[in-house]
Amino acid sequence: MSSKQINYFVTTALIAAKLDNANKIAKQLLLTASNARAVALRAGDSAAGFKPLTDFIDQLARVTIASSKQINVLATQLSRVSANKMRTDNAICHFERADRIATDYAYVESLSPAYGRIKRSELALNNKYVGEIFRLNDALDELARELRTAVILATLSRVEASQAALLYQESLNGVADNVELSARQIKTLIEEAKKLAQELHQDANV
Amino acid sequence: MQTYKIFESKHHQWLVFGRDPEKPNKIIDTNQYMVVTKNNALLMDPGGIELFSVMLAAIVKHVPIEKITHLFASHQDPDIISSLGLWDQALPDATLHSPWLWEGFIRHFGMDNIEYSPIPDEGYPLRIDDANLTFIPAHYLHSSGNFNVYDEEAKILMSGDIGAAIEGADAPLYVENFDEHCQKMTMFHQRWMPSNRAKNDWVERVSKLEIDMMCPQHGRIFKGDDVKRFLDWFYKLEVGTALANKT
């Protein structure tokens, strides 16, 4: 197995792990949205502008959870395809070595049909592999776009918190802090995953 | 990889592949056997991944690969069958005969095309063209689901790990001095074979067969009277001794 093939496995596993972490943070964000809704309800009219924001926070968390799950599935599929690709590449090496050893042997030609099958399989797996990387990159880009909303949400939350009664301001500012922190953490994880996916993309095109 | 023809009749022949001078030092030397009939071939204990290329090359010296329609794995060990994932790509229409007990384990080596024919504990006969072979139970010797292959016409018993000896790839093919050879077999059998009861049951069963050659997966082939000598020696040998040595 070449070091590049080892990297395929490690990289896809790392992407899956980063998305798993993003998923956990998004689940905490769901709790934040639920908490914010309760505080806004208690604050009544003084936090009237905050209540619709909690729906957006909730929606952002749910979108992140759904996307990270989907990307995790894509990373797992990619890992499976790269394992099959490695096995096929390995089989080709073995067949080529056997062919070199058996150059003058009576039935060396009988290796050709099997070798042809494996080469066709390699080509199909390569195409599938590149396609999976494209899908993974697209999904990560999509999630990164969704996360831009989080920055606006955090800012709006802070503005609305300042309008609320003094008694609730600390809690509502806490919500804004949580949204901001969660969004920043998820964004970092997605950027790291994107960087890894781009490395796979570059390797596949070499 | 060296190839030797050890039996030939009008129906079929037996080939043994082994003594590979290019084998990596740290992997155990193995013997691979093949029965070639009119239209088919059975490859027995085809070996590990490390061996696949040289085995494939050695085979096409004698038969086209599509002639191999049957594979046999006496048990689940890597030196027996870890090459399965590669054979699976070379022989899409073959059948693998192997203990039922190990199917779920052996499939981990990769098997999408080859058909698995699970051998029940009591074994079964296999007719390939005009050759009549039988899978003989050899459970716990050393694997808990384990078979030998017996050929009634050739009077050959492919005995898997039974009769194995650990020695260099330059060792002669046949046992030449039985008493000297025992020294090379003792530790292997005492350490790898766990059950005296299973061992003696096997000796009693195999003693009823007519055997001219006993062919293990490691080491040398026993011929003529050395087969009987081996059965007597093995019957008396205490196996499964690793625990006893610690007390």
The enclosing domain of A97 has a CATH number of 1.20.1270
pLDDT of residue B23: 82
Comparing B65 with A5, the larger pLDDT belongs to: B65
Tens digit of pLDDT for each residue in A86-105? Answer: 889 999 999 999 999 999 99
Provide the 8-state DSSP code for B92: T
Interface of B with A in 24-53 (CB under 8 A): 52-53
CA distance B108 to B115: 14
Nearest-angstrom CA–CA distance, A156 and A139: 27
Give mean pLDDT, residues B97-105.
98
Please give the interface size between A and B, counted as residue pairs whose CB atoms are below 8 Å apart.
63
Strand-strand pairing, B13-18 and B32-36: antiparallel
B211 touches chain A (CB under 8 A): no
Interface test with A, best of B22, B36, B50, B56 (most A CBs within 10 A): B56
- Using CA atoms, how far residue B206 sits from B12, B97, B151, B164, B222, in Å, is 23, 20, 12, 16, 14
Range of the domain at A65: 6-205
**A68 located within any domain:** yes
Residue among A97, A113, A114 minimizing CB distance to B53: A97
Whether the per-residue pLDDT at B8 is higher than 50: the answer is yes
Kindly list the residues from chain A whose CB atom is less than 8 angstroms away from the CB atom of residue B64: 107, 109-110
pLDDT of B43 higher than 90: yes
CB contact under 8 A, A98 and B52: yes
Number of independent structural domains in chain A = 1
Query: Which of B65, B82, B114 is the best substitution to test chain A (most A C-beta atoms within 10 A)?
Result: B65
What number is the average pLDDT over the span B110-132? Answer: 97
Residue of B nearest to A89 (CA): B86
Q: What is the ipTM of this complex?
A: 0.90
Each residue of A137-156: pLDDT tens digit? 999 999 888 888 888 888 88
Is domain B2-236 given the CATH code 1.20.1250.20 in the classification? no
Chain A residues within an 8 Å CB radius of B53: 94-95, 97-98, 101
Kindly report the nearest CA distance between residue A17 and chain B, in angstroms: 25
The SS3 call for residue B36 is strand
Query: Chain A residues with CB inside 8 Å of B54's CB?
Result: 98, 101
> Does A1 map to a domain?
no
User: In whole angstroms, what is the distance from residue B8 CA to residue A47 CA?
Assistant: 96
Query: For helices A3-43 and A166-205, what crossing angle results, to 10°?
Result: 160
Distance from A3 to chain B by nearest Cα, in Å?
19
Q: Where are the domains of chain B?
A: 2-236
